[in-house]
Amino acid sequence: MSDNHIYNHIQVKPTSGFTGAEIEGIDLSAQLSDEVIGEIRQALLQWKVVFFRNQHLDHAGQIAFTSRFGEVTYAHPHEDEPPEGFEQILPIDRSRFEQRYGLRRTSYENQWHTDVTAAVNPPAGSILRAVNVPEVGGDTTWTNLVAAYEGLSAPLRELADNLKAEHRFGARYNIPPTSKFAERIGKNPLVSIHPVVRVHPETGERALFVNPGFTARILDVSRQESDLLLELFFNQITKPAYTTRFRWNNGDIAFWDNRATAHLAPQDLDHIDVERVLYRTTITGDIPVGPNGFKSEVVEGAVFNRSLPKAFQQSAENQADQAVAALV
């Protein structure tokens, strides 16, 4: 992929042929001009995930930077204990998760996924800040869903353009059904129907919008056909050619377009007793639309935006009613 864009305020260095670029020459803790923000957005749209090395942001600074690109959501549909005073911050902390739920996060969350696609409006983007990462291991990998779609043969692209899929939390994770985390998911079920191919609202590109973490089944086909189609699509989006792998250091930041990427959490830490602490913010997303005009539909759950969920007090039916009303 050639770089036809001109950047006057930042330096953009691609990390692979299809996916990822490091951005140099800026301090994210400074008051960035609209021109700089515009160039970061352009680099993000082109490379799908961008990286900033050796930054010095705290929780407030991360939220402020995220807000330059859209409305910042609350932390997560199933995490209601963010750092005090920062309801938008999701800690990615294996020890915290293990203490709270008695599960090793990397033992079940080892699937490629796009953030929160169980919601009818998955986040438009995610920003992850490294605070305490191990010296060895813990890399994250991203893949380019636009390149994956474009890599399909024409007949398969035509087929995918008209398919719909169900997305839900826990679709393919190995979560013990009696665990506290399974109980929490049960109290706030999120299920949505998305187009298998979504049209990017800013670039017009088509992305293969399925992922092993949340996509449960293809609609309007048999179970066997669904399984075979998903296997084909999952294999396509995880081809090494479309990926980039990022080696974290403390202070590093990754910013990805959640509408055009999937990512894979570390695969090499379960046997190592190390801490790994990062913090994530997400940007409120739009409702995906397919090439044939199909617009994602909510089955259960609320929209994912800046308002804290009332899922633990309200029934799933009431949530669905609220979600439909909010999207009209």
Structural contact between residues 120 and 287, judged by C-beta atoms closer than 8 angstroms: yes
Backbone angles phi, psi at 322, to 5 degrees: -65, -40
Q: In 24-144, which ranges are continuous DSSP H helix?
A: 34-47, 59-67, 94-101, 105-108
Candidate list 115, 168, 172, 184, residue with the active-site label: 115
Sheet strands side by side (includes 297-300)? 215-218, 164-168, 191-195, 297-300
Structural contact between residues 181 and 74, judged by C-beta atoms closer than 8 angstroms: no
Q: In whole angstroms, what is the distance from residue 228 CA to residue 231 CA?
A: 5
Residue 72 has what DSSP assignment? B
Candidate list 105, 113, 167, 206, residue with the active-site label: 113
Positions of E strands within 25-150: 49-52, 90-93, 125-132, 140-144
Candidate list 59, 167, 168, 280, residue with the active-site label: 280
Query: Among this protein's residues, is 113 annotated catalytic?
Result: yes
Query: Among this protein's residues, is 273 annotated catalytic?
Result: no
The alpha-carbon radius of gyration of the chain (Å, integer) is: 19
Q: In whole angstroms, what is the distance from residue 233 CA to residue 20 CA?
A: 21
Three-state DSSP class for 206? strand
Backbone angles phi, psi at 234, to 5 degrees: -65, -40
Structural contact between residues 57 and 129, judged by C-beta atoms closer than 8 angstroms: yes
Three-state DSSP class for 253? strand
Query: Among this protein's residues, is 263 annotated catalytic?
Result: yes
Q: What is the DSSP string of 151-190?
A: TS-HHHHHHHHT-EEEEETTSS----TTSHHHHHHHHS--
Candidate list 105, 259, 263, 276, residue with the active-site label: 263
Please give the positions annotated as active site. Answer: 113, 115, 263, 280
